[in-house]
Amino acid sequence: MNHISTSISPDEIMGVLSQAEINTLASVGSKDLHEILRRCSLAVLNCGSVIDDSKVVFDQFKHFDIGIHRRSRGIRLDLINAPGSAFVDGQIIRGIKEHLFAVIRDVVYVHNELQTSTIDLNESTQITNAVFYILRNANILHPGVDPNLVVCWGGHAINRIEYDYTKEVGHELGLRKLNICTGCGPGAMKGPMKGATIGHAKQRHRKGRYMGFTEPGIIAAESPNPIVNELVIFPDIEKRLEGFVRTGHAFIVFPGGAGTAEEILYLLGILLHPENDGVPFPLIFTGPKESADYFEQMDEFIGNTLGREAQKKYKIIIDDPENVSRKVIKGIAKVRNHRRKQSDAFYYNWKLKIDDSFQLPFIPNHKNMASLAIHSDQPTHALASNLRKVFSGIVAGNIKDSGIRAIEKHGPFNINGDKSIMLALDHLLENFVAQGRMKLAKDDYSPCYQVIK
């Protein structure tokens, strides 16, 4: 495999830096922080990889390293044994270079400005403020702009028919000059962006935004796709999900696996909270006609676990990209009017209630997975929160380095709960496996979980 060692500078990518900022970047001495930087940087440089197993990626490039050095006019990065695919004729690809410096910007900012500050990251309001600060530091928040951001969720391990459909929907959104935000990776995260670029080009819309939100635990398995022109790395999955919800104006869900189910349950749990009753929040599930069964199964699972009220929070539209986009436009108009009446910002949904059970980081280890409260004797939004954590653990066991190593050492996660919920969960997961939605390596998937029925 081709490896390259070289030095690069940020040029105008990181703007003008003060000496204090240069010193901060160059003095990243913490071993843990350096490892986060190294892994996230490797993920960005490994763009286009067909491997969604973080452990394999890190083992494959175990000799890769990155150094940050102080210069009088900025910083210099030393890349050692970087993937050769990130370079053309010895020069780093421009988009990958931008993503690389976004990694440094966000990882160092979170460490220096949030984790070592007086912000209490165990308190709900301050967590919401922290998400805001991360987005503001990345220049994501643009005051004075009408709502136009569509968050698209869906799996990285989708088939070609589903991928082409995500492009068609993205094309319709682009024709309407809407911007796209996804999890930044391949599959259903790349397709809408690719389609939107064509729609924007047809409309001569030259300021299209293709935002990608990720976090260190998942970035290696879902490297940022090259269309992303605004990348943000959050410190954990919970802040990443809150970032989506606070900034998005409409949400589209394409077919996916455990990660998509986690996103759906996170959002439904928030919308089911009594304080959010009546808040306009456009949410559409859509896919080609070949994926109709997927949405029937997801809808059935939601009905069997969270009930009819949860099913009212979304619309299912099959094989109709134009109708999806028209519904999005209508939904965003309602969001705009509601925000104006409530004097809430267009660029950040401050008034949406997000319970701290959706904000505090969940560590998916064997003990925590086995002790989740999966029963119906609790508020529906609380059950949604715990079901979200089930799927978060499955994602970790499937593609995250720490989760994969834990499964190798201790065996599958045990998932316990009410029998009716366990039966519904097991049925949904069996369908995910049968449809090849768990990992890119579909033929030899071995479940990282055991549902106790």
pLDDT digits (tens, 9 = 90+) for 13-34: 555 455 555 565 555 555 677 7
The backbone region for 16, taken as left when phi is positive above 0, alpha when psi lies in -120 to 50, beta otherwise, is beta
Backbone angles phi, psi at 135, to 5 degrees: -65, -40
Q: Report in angstroms the alpha-carbon separations of 141 from 149, 174, 187, 217, 229.
A: 11, 20, 26, 24, 14
Average pLDDT over residues 35-48: 85
Instruction: Tell me the DSSP string of 367-404.
Output: HHHHT---SSSS-HHHHHHHHHHHHHHHHHHHH-HHHH
pLDDT of 438 strictly over 90: no
Asked whether the whole model's pTM tops 0.85, one would answer yes
pLDDT at 202 over 60: yes
- Mean pLDDT across the stretch 191-213? 97
Taking Cα atoms as reference points, which of 409, 408, 422, 420 lies closest to residue 370? 422
Q: Which of 37-46, 133-142, 230-239, 344-353 has the lowest mean pLDDT?
A: 37-46
pLDDT score at 47 = 79
Instruction: Answer yes or no: are the C-beta atoms of 295 and 254 closer than 8 Å.
Output: no
Determine the pLDDT at residue 31.
67
Of the listed ranges 37-46, 202-211, 235-244, 260-269, the one predicted with least confidence = 37-46
Beta carbons of 414 and 370 less than 8 angstroms apart: yes
Candidate ranges 4-13, 68-77, 360-369; pick with highest mean pLDDT: 360-369
pLDDT tens track for 42-94: 888 887 655 555 666 677 778 888 887 776 666 788 898 888 888 999 899 99
The pLDDT > 70 percentage for the chain reads: 91
Q: How far apart are CA 7 and CA 30, in angstroms?
A: 22
Domain with CATH 3.40.50.450 in the chain: 141-453
Residue 404's pLDDT band, with cuts at 50, 70 and 90, is: confident
CATH of domain 3-117: 3.30.1850.10
- How do residues 293-319 score in pLDDT, each as one tens digit? 999 999 999 999 999 999 999 999 999
Task: Give me the pLDDT at residue 18, please.
Answer: 54
- 210-261 pLDDT per residue, tens: 999 999 888 877 889 999 999 999 999 999 999 999 999 999 999 999 999 9
Q: For position 250, what pLDDT does the model report?
A: 98
Q: Give 208's pLDDT tier (boundaries 50, 70, 90).
A: very high
Band (pLDDT 50/70/90 cuts) for residue 135 is very high
Q: How high is the pLDDT of residue 8?
A: 86
**Is 399 within 8 Å of 440 (Cβ atoms)?**
no
pLDDT on residue 172? 98
What average pLDDT score do residues 81-110 get? Answer: 88
How far apart are alpha carbons 282 and 102 in whole angstroms? 30
In the predicted model, what is the mean pLDDT of the chain?
A: 89
Q: Tell me which of 3.40.50.450, 3.20.20.80, 3.90.650.10, 3.50.50.60 is the CATH number of domain 141-453.
A: 3.40.50.450
In degrees rounded to 5, what are phi and psi of residue 356? -65, -15
Residue ranges matching CATH 3.30.1850.10 in the chain = 3-117
Which residue reads 């929907």 in tokens? 169
Confidence at 197, pLDDT banded by 50, 70, 90: very high
Q: What is residue 20's predicted lDDT score, i.e. its pLDDT?
A: 58
Q: What is the pLDDT of residue 83?
A: 86
Q: What is the mean pLDDT of residues 8-15?
A: 65
> Which is more confidently placed, 442 or 406?
406
What is the reported pLDDT for 385? 97
